[in-house]
Structure formats: structure tokens, C-alpha cells
Amino acid sequence: MATGNWDEKNKPTIPGWYNRFKNKAQERIGTGIHGILAMPVKANWGPVKTVTAITVTSTSENTLKKTFGEDSNYTAYRLGKLALLGQPKAVLFYRLVDGSQKTATLTLKNNASTPADAIKLETKYPTTRKLNVTIKSNIADSSKVDFILYEGATQLFSMSAISGAIDDIISAINSNVENEYLIATKISGATGTIGNVANQALTGGNDGTAGITNAHYLEAMSAFEGYGMDGFALDGISDQSLQASVKAWVIKNKEEGTNIIAFVGGPQSNYSLEQANSRSKEFNHEDIVNVFATSASYDGNIYTSAEVAVYIAALATAAGLKDSICNAVTIFDDIQPRLNKTDTAAALAAGTLVLAKDADDVIVVDDVNTFKNYTDDKTEVFGSIRAIKFMNAVDGDTSLKRKDFNGKTTNDDTGRALIIIALKQYFETLVAAGVIKDDFTVEIDTELQANAKSDEFFWKWDATYLDVIKRVYGTGNVTK
């Protein structure tokens, strides 16, 4: 069932549920809230060119390590940790490769007087990880062998006292539940038993990261389109042309009925607040958040603006409709530069999200997006992440009513009334949650319905959005 946007001059013809929002005038907004963040990454392990979801739980980091490795030289682990710490419902990862990726291999020989190739070991994923194998006679039973896989000097898994027969050892390797690393296959014509080896390395692997270009990121973004997501972040990439492509992609998806808030940032060196503000003004879009910090520290690591944007993306994506990340405490220990009030005000006015040191905490100053050129059609309510998430949720949640009504309800007064009742019940939940006032209206758009086709239904809503308190002004009186 199709969803998306519409206007009187260009109504979609595919059966579906099409929404539009008005803020005194027509404005297109996207779909709902699921708490899902998407991010392309570089890794030295894991499935390539595939969307892989990691649900955020107490063991998420272990899952991340098992899936993509724990090498901090790659963004899957270095920045994947930040994304998980932001506590979204789940993170969708896509391992980028440039086409040169290769698995590592090792050919084991039998123990014949003239050793012959017997078993091919191959890594499950393209990699340059330093994996090596030891096969030795079992101390207790010399007719059997022990098989051990190492990464460097670290043991990854082992099997003790297994048959050294070619077929048996292949079966043992491939069926071992601890083996998340190797695939064993028999060399044609191989016979006998396996020969011993000591720290024999798997070679020839390639992680496929050296030649990654913007085009590969665009492929990842296209792959994400088949999945429900609310937030998107690049893996620390600050390239302006790629970020411009992200904006174009966000707009395209919005027009097709999928609203995605993208979070970007700049490089660490030679990057000023003025440059960040200039980028924000160029973006000027409610679904683009531009983060500025020349550096932020956490757990002994230093992160750039574009890397901090990953954590902010996760934090904002995790927030519920009632929640704002304004004044939210982050994981970071320190932030540079520490902006003065004048620079902070200039950043917020430009639509640049900045952080500040507040006592022992590093906080998000305000939940601004880059849309700041307000108009009569799009007022300042469009300038905060929380408000955009609210509008996205209304569109997405009401669109789900298509499962109850589209293709099932007669398009007459009774059928239309049933839909209006269901929609009003949804808005009542927003009132109860303190997201909107109780003076909302949900009704048939009689003007448009008068000229509707036999299978069309037009409705409209109006609600007063309730913001959170961000600025508190006190007056003190001292008497003698």
C-alpha cells in the first residue's frame, strides 16, 4: 500500500493513504517514528553491502564486536559504539566496500609422505584480520588432533581431541558453534588425515575500504530505503558534496512518503563556527541537523564534529515524542571549543546544533535543525527536532490506519465517519501524552471531498503543538 504526499495538481494514482500538513498553508511532511538510526560504515569484518540491524540492549556492544569486529581504526566499531550509546531502538549498519574486498584463505595439507592439499580454510567475510591456525596432536590421544584459531596471539576458538580425518575435521570446523570465523571445504581428491601446522596464517584478504567513494555511500543510502528508519548519519564523513547528496536524498524520500532526519558535521581541523554556521544556512532544511564541535572527548577518544553527529543522531532518534534533547546530558567528558554566549546565540540562530560544558556535564544546548528561514507557510515550529518528529509521527501513525480501512471501508458517509472517529482517537492519545492541546480538530475536508473521485477520501486536522520549556526568566526582589 502506497503512502506519501499529495497536492491538488498532482494527486497520486496508486491506491494508498496520502497525507499533507498545513501550517497556515500547505506543507509536506513525512512518516512516523520507530527509533531506528541508519548508518553506512567501514569495517574489517562482517557482511558486505548488506543492511544489518543491531537492536540496542545491554549486550549490544558485544553484538557489534561479533558482527563487525572491534578494530577502532574502522568506523563500524569506533562510531558504532557511539550510535549504540545514544540508545535508539536499533541501528541499521551497512558495510561499505569498494569492490576489491577479498576473503583470506589457507590451504591445509594432509600428513602423507608427500603432503598434498587437503582442506581450504576461508574467512567468512572479506578481511585483513591476522588470523592463524594451529593443528597439533592431542596430548591424551595421539590419534586425534587439536584445532586452534588465533588472531595474533589471542585465541578465538579451539576444538580438542577431534578426528584428523579430512572429512571429519571439515565437519567439526563447520559445525562448531564457537566458529564465527572460518568455512572449511575439501580439496578435490583429498585423502588421509590432516597434517600438523603451527601458527599458519590465512592470507590474501582485503577489507575493501581503500577505494571507497561517495558513490558507495549513495549505494548504501539506496539500500536503506527498503527499511523503516527515522535518523541517518554518515560515519564521520564531512565531505560537503556528499552531505549535499544526503540532503537531496532526504528530500527525495520525504516526497515519496519516508521522512528521515539526517545528522551531519564538519572536520576536526581548520573548521570554525563561522564555517559551520555557513553550512547550516546552506542546508536550511528541517530534516538536516548540523553539529559543530572542533573536538569532543569520551573514554579517552577524541571525536570530530562529524563523528559527534553520530551520537547526536542516535540520541535524537531515541527520544520520544514528549522528549527534547535540549539540555540533554551527553556521554562526552569535554567539548572544544567552549563557546561564549554570543557565539552560542549565533550558532542557534544559524541552525547549528552545539554542545556546552555545564559543570561536570557536556550538554546539548538546544535541539535545533538547520531550518531557520521562516515564512508564513513554515514558521519557527519547524526549527526544532522535537517538533519535526511530532509531525512525522502524526503522518506515520495516521497512515497506518490504511491497514484497517483501505480497501475495506465503503466510501460513504458511514465509512468516512468511521475513519474520522479512529483518527480522533489517535489525536486524543497525543493530548493525553501532553504533546498537543485538547483543542484539536479532525474532520472531513468538505471542500476537497466535494470533487473527490469515488475511491478518494480527504481529511484534515489542526492541533496546537505543546513545546517544552527551554528558557526560564526569573525576577528577584530584595527588601530591606
> CATH: 2.60.120.10, 3.40.50.620, 3.40.50.11780, 3.40.109.10. Which one for 36-97+211-364?
3.40.50.11780
Closest CA to 17 of 416, 413, 396, 454: 396
Residue with cell 527520544: 319
Residue 145 has which C-alpha cell?
Answer: 588432533
**pLDDT, the chain, mean:** 89
Beta bridge partners of 162: 145
Closest CA to 147 of 370, 283, 369, 157: 157
Closest CA to 336 of 315, 357, 353: 357
Query: What pLDDT score does 348 carry?
Result: 96
Residue 229 has which C-alpha cell?
Answer: 528508519
Q: How many residues does the chain have?
A: 480
Q: What is the pLDDT of residues 53-81, one digit of tens each?
A: 999 999 999 999 999 999 999 999 999 99
Query: What pLDDT score does 398 carry?
Result: 67
The answer to whether the CB of 345 falls within 8 A of the CB of 310 is no
Query: What pLDDT score does 109 carry?
Result: 96
Residues of the chain with pLDDT under 50: 21-32
As its CATH architecture, domain 105-201 has: Sandwich (2.60)
Give residue 401's identity as a one-letter amino acid code. K
The answer to whether the CB of 124 falls within 8 A of the CB of 204 is no
d(Cα 39, Cα 278) in Å, to the nearest integer? 25
> Sheet harboring 295-298: ordered strands across?
301-303, 295-298, 334-336
Residue 66 has which C-alpha cell?
Answer: 561479533
Phi and psi, residue 173, nearest 5° = -65, -50
d(Cα 165, Cα 348) in Å, to the nearest integer? 69
CA dihedral of 338, 341, 347, 352, whole degrees rounded to 10: 60
Query: What pLDDT score does 350 carry?
Result: 97
**What's the per-residue H, E or C state across the chain?**
CEEECCECCECCCCCEEECCEECCCEECCCCCCCCEEEEEECCCCCCCCCEEEEECCCCHHHHHHHHHCCCCCCHHHHCHHHHHHCCCCEEEEEECCCCCCECCEEEEEECCCCCCEEEEEEECCCCCCCEEEEEEECCCCCCEEEEEEEECCEEEEEEEEEECEHHHHHHHHHHCCCCCCEEEEECCCCCCEECCEEEEECECCECCCCCCCHHHHHHHHHHHCCCCCCEEECCCCCCHHHHHHHHHHHHHHHHCCCCCEEEEECCCCCCCHHHHHHHHHHHCCCCEEEEECCEEEECCEEECHHHHHHHHHHHHHHCCCCCCCCCCECCCCEEECCCCHHHHHHHHHHCEEEEEEECCEEEECCCECCCCCCCCCCCHHHHEHHHHHHHHHHHHHHHCCHHHHCCCCCCCHHHHHHHHHHHHHHHHHHHHCCCECCCCEEEECHHHHCCCCCCCCCEEEECCECCCCCCCCCCCCCCC
State the number of CA atoms in the 13 A half-sphere of 21 facing the CB: 25
**Backbone CA torsion sign across 434, 438, 439, 444:** positive
Residue with cell 562526552: 332
Beta bridge partners of 441: 462
Closest CA to 94 of 129, 57, 132, 52: 52
Give residue 367's identity as a one-letter amino acid code. D
d(Cα 82, Cα 189) in Å, to the nearest integer? 50
d(Cα 8, Cα 182) in Å, to the nearest integer? 58
Beta bridge partners of 22: 26
The answer to whether the CB of 273 falls within 8 A of the CB of 343 is yes
Cβ neighbour number for residue 269 with a 10 Å cutoff: 8
